[in-house]
């Protein structure tokens, strides 16, 4: 598998930095963002293959980031990783196109497995046109 880019988005800075450090692997490059706005800025500078996204964040919340990502960057696979989601949130996230919905804390091995599946899913599907200027 070639190297793929993952963007981790969570306002729990220590959590997301530590997770990013643990995800330093030969076939994976991880970046971090600490709120929705920053995540969209990072995406504008370089589109990731997969985004791991918390739902409850100050400012633009995760659900809105997901909505914008699927609208403007439909090829990016978004995995929700939250400690606060309800069944209703999960249904809504999946309806908006989230690749998977995980609860915090997650086992690293499971997260890596889902990340690889998400990347493979991206590679297996015909690419859609990104409309990043509007995001």
Partner 1 sequence: MSQKEIAFTGRIIASLSHEIKNVLATIKESAGLMEDILSLRPETDAPHQARLVKAAGNIRKQVDRGVDVVMGLNRFAHSMDEPMAQIDLNELTAQMAFLMQRFAHKSAIGLSAAPYSEPLNIVTDPFRLEMLLAAALDVCLTRADKGSGLVIQPCRVEGRPAVWIGAAPDEPPDTLPPTVAFPEDLFALKGDLEHLQVNIYDCGSAGLHGVLILFK
User: What's the N-to-C CA distance of the chain in angstroms?
Assistant: 29
From residue 69, how far is each of 12, 16, 47, 80, 96 by CA, in Å? 21, 20, 10, 13, 10
Q: Binding residue for partner 1 (CB under 8 A) from 19, 43, 65, 115?
A: 19
Residues 21, 16: Cα–Cα separation, whole Å: 9
Report if residue 131 touches partner 1, rule: CB under 8 A.
Answer: no
Q: Binding residue for partner 1 (CB under 8 A) from 5, 15, 29, 37?
A: 15
Structure tokens at 28: 């994976």
The secondary structure of residue 130, as a DSSP letter, is P
Structure tokens at 116: 């690889």
**Among the residue ranges 10-18, 45-53, 59-67, 117-125, the one whose residues contact partner 1 (CB under 8 A):** 10-18
CB of 43 to partner 1, least distance (A): 23
**Among the residue ranges 36-44, 79-87, 90-98, 114-122, the one whose residues contact partner 1 (CB under 8 A):** 79-87
Report if residue 14 touches partner 1, rule: CB under 8 A.
Answer: yes
Give yes or no for a cis peptide into 105 (omega within 30° of 0).
Answer: yes
Residues that bind partner 1 (CB under 8 A): 12, 14-15, 18-19, 21-22, 56, 83-84, 86, 103-106, 108
């Amino acid at each position: 598998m070639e190297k793929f880019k993952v963007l981790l988005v969570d306002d729990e800075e220590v959590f997301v930095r530590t997770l990013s450090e643990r995800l330093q692997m030969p076939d994976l490059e991880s970046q971090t963002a600490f709120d929705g706005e920053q995540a969209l800025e990072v995406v504008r500078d370089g589109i990731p293959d997969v985004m791991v996204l918390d739902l409850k964040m100050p400012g633009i919340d995760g659900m809105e980031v997901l909505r914008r990502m699927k609208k403007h960057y439909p090829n990016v696979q978004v995995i929700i990783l939250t400690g606060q989601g309800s069944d209703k949130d999960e249904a809504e996230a999946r309806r908006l196109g989230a690749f998977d919905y995980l609860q915090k804390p997650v086992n690293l091995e499971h997260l890596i497995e889902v990340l690889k599946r998400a990347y493979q899913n991206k590679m297996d599907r015909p690419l859609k046109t990104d409309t990043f200027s509007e995001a």
